[in-house]
Amino acid sequence: MNFSQSTFVTSAATLKDCPPDSVAEVAFAGRSNAGKSSAINSLCKQTRLARISKTPGRTQLINFFKIEEGNYLVDLPGYGFAKVPLAVKNKWQFELEQYLRKREALVGLVLLSDIRHPLKEFDRMMIEWSVQSQLPLHLLLTKSDKLKRSAAQNALLKVSRELEGYDEVSVQLFSSLKNTGLDETRKVISTWLVNDND
């Protein structure tokens, strides 16, 4: 799977606006400051594929990036920080829920969580939902470069223990800045996409 060939295709406001040619897609979810856009850019070896904003919560639409024919990465609206009216926020959450529940092409979820504050309420909700939906989830502990190596390993161990018993959930360290964990993440995503295409 050639991630570096990825291209932006469309931004969808609702489920019906999602690309009809998608066979398999992996969605990226997380709080607004978790680093979803940075992660997508790093994984695809591009600097401006997914737009990065200094204001958390600017991703208000569901953004689709085509890796190759029928296979997509999807950047979901961030949760939490956006300074927008409650009615707007509620609409995002509704469309996000519609996508997660009804999008048949969805084969896996990459959840990003800041390693310094892992497994917040939203993260736990997403993990529980994915387990109930029997959808595989891969947790990236982002910004691992902010901690010393031993502290990062300890955080990984602690989160791994919390997730014991969740067969469909995996976890790793990740840093867009230091390119930590890119190959591991690409391998997980490629496996999900390839398996679904077979």
Report CA-CA distances (Å) from 57 to 37, 82, 185. 11, 4, 23
- Structure letter (DSSP) for residue 182: H
Of the candidates 103, 102, 104, 122, the residue with the CA atom closest to the CA atom of residue 114:
122
* pTM (2 d.p.): 0.91
- Total count of domains within the chain: 1
pLDDT, tens only, 99-154: 999 999 999 999 999 999 999 988 998 999 999 999 999 999 999 999 999 999 99
pLDDT band at 196 (very low <50, low <70, confident <90, very high): low
- For the sheet with 71-75, list strands across it: 7-12, 62-68, 71-75, 24-30, 106-114, 137-142, 169-173
pLDDT, tens only, 47-60: 889 876 555 445 57
**What are the structure tokens assigned to 82, written together?**
């956006």
SS3 147: coil
Across 68-91, average pLDDT? 78
For residue 96, the model assigns a pLDDT of 82
Q: Is residue 192 over pLDDT 70?
A: yes
pLDDT, tens only, 34-46: 888 899 999 999 9
For residue 84, the model assigns a pLDDT of 63
What is the domain extent for residue 143? 3-197
Q: In sequence order, which residues have a C-beta less than 8 Å from that of residue 82 and are 6 or more positions away? A: 32, 56, 57, 58, 60, 89, 92
Across 58-84, average pLDDT? 81
pLDDT, tens only, 6-35: 999 999 988 999 999 999 999 999 987 888
| CATH number, domain containing residue 100 | 3.40.50.300
Query: In this structure, what are the phi and psi dihedrals at residue 4, rounded to the nearest 5 degrees?
Result: -70, -15
Report CA-CA distances (Å) from 145 to 34, 119, 136, 166. 14, 18, 26, 27
Across 81-90, average pLDDT? 66
Q: Is residue 195 over pLDDT 70?
A: yes
